[in-house]
Structure 1
Amino acid sequence: MRVVILGGGFAGLSALKTYRNSILIDEKDYFVLTHRLVDVVRTGNPEIAKLPYRKVLRATVKSVDFKEKKVITTEGTIPYDKLIITLGYSQRLIPGSEKLENIEDALRIREKLRKAKKVAVLGGGALSVELAGYARELGKEVYLVEERDKLLGFMSKDSSEYAKRRLEEMGVNLYLKTKVEGIDNGTLVTTNGNLKADLVISGVGFKGPEIISRLGLTNVNSRMLVNEYLRSEDFEDVYGAGDCATTKSFIPMSAQVAVQAGERAMLNAIGNEDKFRYKQLAVIVKIGSESFGDFMGRFVRGDMAELAKKFGIFRAIRLIN
């Protein structure tokens, strides 16, 4: 059986490790540790977020002929018996703001941060919280704008409150319950007044990649719709895993969940069918020099949080080797 995997993120590598005879297609020759992108902004060293692939067909996917079961790429046409789509995520972007999706984005933001005096960070997720903290460390005047009434809304109350307190102690200006209505030549127009910034970084949320819609797959927020077995709602021999896929009841976008989904999608594709069930073991955030977050259902900080974070990196390396 020929199984083809589109995309080599956490889900794609997990699928490949589950069935080594599959073919992994990715446009890069390295794996991006997305949770290390803020570290690239900090250090300017892109290598800390890169891990080279050991087995990959380097090509860009142009289209998929689902009827004939063929993937059309820049390196030719690849037939498949089963197809697993693991093409990751894209970032919502308010016009006039910068995104942080890849290493190139991180290096560009690093350069712009050096020149900026006033920095606005949009969104209250982990990416925004970490960036706001780092910008403040650099001595910038920082505004963090979040539409909800708290930060880190997907994490525990303890983590949310700790992030708020820590950023306030650092001098970050928090605008909670504030919606950005637009950006006009460096001025943020919000429901809580206007803010002037030299650099605006968007972290307002994530969605699936645009290619999901281009392929004609039924999707929610550009995430292909799959059933409880991670099989596409449109095609019998197509599966989706990771940030590019979701069920009607929703699958969270996280590296840990993607790893579990990639494994389950591959097992189902090769005939070992079972429903997809996931566990979120740890979500760790870093502000300044201190890590904190949720680990196995409880709030942790300091050394325990660092240990949980290192475990995540170790697991990513194991996926490749």
Structure 2
Amino acid sequence: MRIVILGGGFAGLSALKTHDSIMIDNKDYFILTHKLIDVVKTGDPSIAKIPYPKVLKATVKSIDFRKKVVITTSGEIAYDKLIISLGYSQKLIEGVTKFENIEDALRIREGLLRAKTVVIIGGGNLGVELASLAREMGKEVYLIEGQSRLLNFMSQESSAYAEKKLREMGVNVLLNTKVEKIEDNTVYAEDQKIRGDLIVSSIGFKGPSILKELGLTTINDRMVVNEYLQSVDQEDVYGAGDCSTTKEFIPMSAQVAVQAGRTAMLNAIGFERKFSYRQYAIIVRIGNEYFGDLLGKFVRGRVAELAEKLGIHRAIKLLK
């Protein structure tokens, strides 16, 4: 039986590790997404790159589900079972720099070196860490979050700690603030007008647009799968990682993607495993201090740093 995996991120690598298959990716390297902030800081893209051990480098153009063929820039590849793990994309906003990949990180770095005022939209982990870095570089920084707290997917303790640390650094943290429009390097947020030399979006993450173009059922451009991670449209197709979700929602997370990749592959080769996941640790860094949630409890300092390094170690193990 030939199994083809589309995408070599956390989910794709986890699937490949579970059972030998053909993995297709448009890059020949794996991106450590939580290291993108270090690319911004240093300008060294190798920090977030690890070469793939086994990959067919090609871009997916289309899929013929009836004939069970993936059409790529390197030709057609037949499959018996298909695992789609194409990761996430980010909605484009005119006049705003997205923060999705290594190229974006390098572009943000160039902007930071020239900017005096930086506006960051979105108080998730990327937004928080970028606000910290920009402030360390001596920039005036505005961090805009539409919800009532930063890191709203984490514990209340982590949210409060992030806000406290950033405010102490001098970051202008604006909570419960909706962005209405952006034009002429100015962010219009309710009754405020904030002009920025660099405006960065760390929100708007979704699935890749090709999934909807292929005719698959999607939510926020993420393909909809059942409890076995099987496509609700195609019985020989499975979805794993940030590009897929159930109707009840699966969070976008490296840890969840690893668990999904393994489950999708097990089911593709004949098992019947319902998918369940667990978030073991979510770690954020402000300055040189690590903090976050470990097994549901707030941690900081050395324990948080060790948890973050363990996450990197697990990612590297997928590549061996």
Structure 1-normalised TM-score? 0.99
**Pair 1:266-2:265 in alignment:** yes
Give the superposition deviation at 1:93: 3.2
Q: Which segment is superposed worse, 88-97 or 191-200?
A: 88-97
The DSSP-based 3-state class of the residue aligned with 2:315 is: helix
**1:11-62 deviation digits (Å, cap 9, x = unpaired):** 0000000001x10000110001111101100111111100101110111100
- Fraction of identical pairs, as percent: 66
Counterpart position of 1:197: 196
Unaligned runs of 5+ in 2: none
Preserved CA contact (<8 Å) 1:92 1:203: no
Counterpart position of 1:120: 119
The DSSP-based 3-state class of the residue aligned with 2:24 is: strand
Preserved CA contact (<8 Å) 1:281 1:296: yes
The DSSP-based 3-state class of the residue aligned with 1:229 is: coil
Structure 2-normalised TM-score? 0.99
Counterpart position of 2:6: 6
Q: Which segment is superposed worse, 58-67 or 93-102?
A: 93-102
Give the superposition deviation at 1:92: 2.8
Counterpart position of 1:19: 19
- Give me the whole-angstrom Cα distance separating, in 1, the residues matched to 2:91 and 2:305: 29
- Give me the whole-angstrom Cα distance separating, in 2, the residues matched to 1:32 and 1:214: 25
Counterpart position of 1:91: 90
- Give me the whole-angstrom Cα distance separating, in 2, the residues matched to 1:94 and 1:179: 15
Q: Which segment is superposed worse, 190-199 or 132-141?
A: 190-199
Counterpart position of 1:29: 28
- Give me the whole-angstrom Cα distance separating, in 2, the residues matched to 1:199 and 1:61: 33
Counterpart position of 1:150: 149
The DSSP-based 3-state class of the residue aligned with 1:279 is: coil
**Letter paired with 2:171:** V
User: What is the RMSD computed on CA atoms of the aligned residues?
Assistant: 0.7
**1:72-113 deviation digits (Å, cap 9, x = unpaired):** 001110000000000000123332110111111111110110
Give the superposition deviation at 1:304: 0.6
Counterpart position of 2:70: 71
The DSSP-based 3-state class of the residue aligned with 2:182 is: strand
**1:212-234 deviation digits (Å, cap 9, x = unpaired):** 11111100000000000000000
**1:122-173 deviation digits (Å, cap 9, x = unpaired):** 0110000000010000000000011111000000000000000000000000
- Give me the whole-angstrom Cα distance separating, in 2, the residues matched to 1:75 and 1:16: 20
Post-superposition, which runs of at least 4 consecutive aligned residues in structure 1 deviate over 3 A? none
Counterpart position of 1:41: 40
The DSSP-based 3-state class of the residue aligned with 2:111 is: helix
What does 1:94-243 align with in structure 2 at a 5 Å threshold? 94-243=93-242
- Give me the whole-angstrom Cα distance separating, in 1, the residues matched to 2:190 and 2:228: 42
Counterpart position of 1:315: 314
- Give me the whole-angstrom Cα distance separating, in 2, the residues matched to 1:47 and 1:318: 18
Preserved CA contact (<8 Å) 1:69 1:80: yes
The DSSP-based 3-state class of the residue aligned with 1:182 is: strand
Counterpart position of 1:253: 252
Number of residue pairs aligned between Structure 1 and Structure 2: 320
Counterpart position of 1:55: 54
- Give me the whole-angstrom Cα distance separating, in 2, the residues matched to 1:277 and 1:253: 14
- Give me the whole-angstrom Cα distance separating, in 1, the residues matched to 2:19 and 2:82: 13
Unaligned runs of 5+ in 1: none
Preserved CA contact (<8 Å) 1:30 1:53: yes
- Give me the whole-angstrom Cα distance separating, in 2, the residues matched to 1:124 and 1:138: 19
- Give me the whole-angstrom Cα distance separating, in 2, the residues matched to 1:68 and 1:15: 23
